[in-house]
Chains A and B, each alone.
Chain A
Amino acid sequence: DAGVIQSPRHEVTEMGQEVTLRCKPISGHNSLFWYRQTMMRGLELLIYFNNNVPIDDSGMPEDRFSAKMPNASFSTLKIQPSEPRDSAVYFCASTPRPMPPEAFFGQGTRLTVV
């Protein structure tokens, strides 16, 4: 298996623009997570899906952020409008089952909002 696949790897956009990050989890995994990594806050969970249903979105910072999982093989994280403080590395991760929770991470998308 190719692992968790994220696209794009790098994204540079202007403030105010819409940004869409994409994730393909490992086939057969039924839990998917979106994380954001910054120097200040480390790795923080944004949203967690189980069987394509959002279970916990308490980490989504504002209404500008939204995430969807239309099917078991695809998820998106959208920021609209983007702001410079959204600049970070965004990771997607998946697990085959809730327990044990050893998540497999993608390589991340480095987002820069200028």
Chain B
Amino acid sequence: DQQVKQNSPSLSVQEGRISILNCDYTNSMFDYFLWYKKYPAEGPTFLISISSIKDKNEDGRFTVFLNKSAKHLSLHIVPSQPGDSAVYFCAASGLGGANSKLTFGKGITLSVRP
């Protein structure tokens, strides 16, 4: 049973436009949410995170929104650039101890067209 779901396997956007990547989760014990970016033949790299006490966190072109009641989060990239083309993983974690392990979604492949 997948606790973190990224239902769209791929997304294609034009350079300069907004990319919106969605993620849903089922475990109400999750308290911390992260986005990772992965290029081919490399390991995932941390991009941005949000604690459940917030509903928005922004870092440059990247903003993550959290809707706890809907168990939904999204990553907005504005403006999108060709270098953003990668696989994006949503991940979730509980608070401390054994709960601090990261549970990942299956990822979404973003393609930004020049």
Chain B nearest CB from A10 CB (Å) reads 10
User: How big is chain B's contact interface, by range?
Assistant: 20 to 34
Q: Which of B2-49 contact A (CB under 8 A)?
A: 32, 34, 36, 41-46, 49
Given contacts A98-B96, A99-B95, contact A45 B42 (CB under 8 A): no
User: Which listed segment binds A: B64-72, B77-85, B104-112?
Assistant: B104-112
The contact of B97 among A35, A91, A98, A103, by CB within 8 Å, is A98
B42 contacts A107, C-beta separation under 8 Å: yes
B100 contacts A99, C-beta separation under 8 Å: yes
The contact of A101 among B41, B93, B105, B106, by CB within 8 Å, is B93
Given contacts A43-B104, A45-B101, A100-B32, contact A105 B45 (CB under 8 A): yes
B74 contacts the other chain (Cβ, under 8 Å)? no
User: How big is chain A's contact interface, by range?
Assistant: 20 to 34
A108–B44 Cα gap in the complex (Å)? 9
Closest Cβ neighbor of B2 among chain A residues: A42
The dominant DSSP class at the A interface is strand
Q: Which of A17-56 contact B (CB under 8 A)?
A: 31, 33, 35, 41-45, 48, 50, 55-56
B63 contacts the other chain (Cβ, under 8 Å)? no
Given contacts A33-B101, A42-B106, A43-B107, contact A91 B49 (CB under 8 A): no
A72 contacts the other chain (Cβ, under 8 Å)? no
The contact of B104 among A42, A48, A98, A107, by CB within 8 Å, is A42
